[in-house]
Chains A and B, each alone.
Chain A
């Protein structure tokens, strides 16, 4: 196989990963690293570098649309980005010191956890009790558009959300994924921010988080232009198509299929990590 054929196949695979990532809302990064390492036998470090780059492309592209719709809470995002960028630097720092087989095992476990999170039904809460005084002081309480006009909401548990965001950043920097599932967990579950606001604000933050570790990866020589080129172009096109299709698609069925694929990939990653083949 020469570079032309290799690039074409990688582009096609990345397009599918981006498409599924956008349709299920779980992001393409989770599929990319297993796809590159297990199918194409790409070294873990090159795969993580290319995946991280594509994560910036998709999240920034999607965030552009969401920000204009008025769902994104930019103050919450900005504040929590302190935690995610610090975490991302720590993750990138650890990535050079942990053997790739161990990274593969952690990757598998994180995949299993996000499959579990996405299969769980989301409880709709309408409680709007007293906000966290810290959130009020930081002017995080805001509004979002709903069918009945602008809906006000309070932000809770800022320190706990901040802590979980640090973890999300570290996982992103270590594994080259957006770790949107953990970010949504921090905002939706811990800080009790409305789901739509949580997902769009998470998306808004993913680009900055990934950029924080991408710099370190670039300086360390993990980002290969020949590999990142088809990955980035494929994922970007796939996620743009996915966003267009989203209105018509059967997302429930897709999420189940996607979760099943993720579980299989997770087990493969863990198995290869344990046997030291990655």
Chain B
């Protein structure tokens, strides 16, 4: 029953995945917090308006324009970049699994992971359904 054996490399794999997820979440939280402080200093005195749905402006909807906004130190852009890092964390985990299954020469799971990875990228970059 070789399938029941937990090899050393598998243990190592679990450690890398665990660290990847932790670092991703922490990094995202730091960026969101930084942007949040800036946002509250700049816009804290205005009254919020979330009762009616307007949708976000175009520059907060796509990956490239969010990065542009964040680099221009716009507070909402920085928060959105942090949220984007958060969304990217599980995607990075899938990308790493892709690499790991390729190294293990596990064709079945390489295809499985590739399907999931493609769906995630389609959602984030392809956008409109």
Instruction: Please list the residues of chain A having a beta carbon within 8 angstroms of any beta carbon in chain B.
Output: 1-4, 6-7, 40-46, 53, 56-57, 60-61, 63-65, 67-68, 70, 72, 74-75, 78-79, 81-82, 85-86, 88-89, 92-93, 136, 138-139, 141-143, 150, 152, 207-208, 210-216, 218-230, 232-233, 236
Q: How far is the CA of A44 from the CA of B53 in the complex (A)?
A: 8
Of the A-B pairs whose beta carbons lie under 8 Å apart in the complex, a sample of 15, sorted by A's number, is: A2-B46, A3-B45, A43-B53, A67-B17, A72-B14, A74-B97, A78-B113, A141-B4, A143-B6, A208-B90, A211-B88, A216-B127, A219-B127, A220-B55, A226-B79
Chain B, range 10-34, C-beta contacts under 8 Å to A: 11, 13-15, 17-19, 21-22, 24-25, 28-29, 32-33
Q: How far is the CA of A7 from the CA of B48 in the complex (A)?
A: 9
Q: What's the least CB distance linking B79 to chain A, in Å? A: 4
Q: What's the least CB distance linking B17 to chain A, in Å? A: 5
Knowing A82-B116, A219-B62, say if A211 contacts B47 (CB, 8 Å): no
- Contact check: which of A2, A63, A222, A227 meets B55 at CB < 8 Å? A222
Q: Which of A6, A82, A229 has the most CB of B within 10 A?
A: A229
Q: How far is the CA of A129 from the CA of B90 in the complex (A)?
A: 34
Query: Which residue of chain B has its CB nearest to the CB of A218?
Result: B61
| Chain B: number of interface residues, binned into ranges | 35 or more
Give the secondary structure class of B's interface. Answer: helix
**Residues in B whose Cβ lies below 8 Å from that of A213:** 123
A-B contact count (CB 8 A): 216
**Residues in B whose Cβ lies below 8 Å from that of A2:** 44-48
Knowing A70-B11, A221-B60, say if A63 contacts B21 (CB, 8 Å): yes
B14 touches A225 (CB 8 A): no
Q: How far is the CA of A47 from the CA of B3 in the complex (A)?
A: 44
B4 touches A142 (CB 8 A): yes
B3 touches A74 (CB 8 A): no
Q: What's the least CB distance linking A256 to chain B, in Å? A: 30
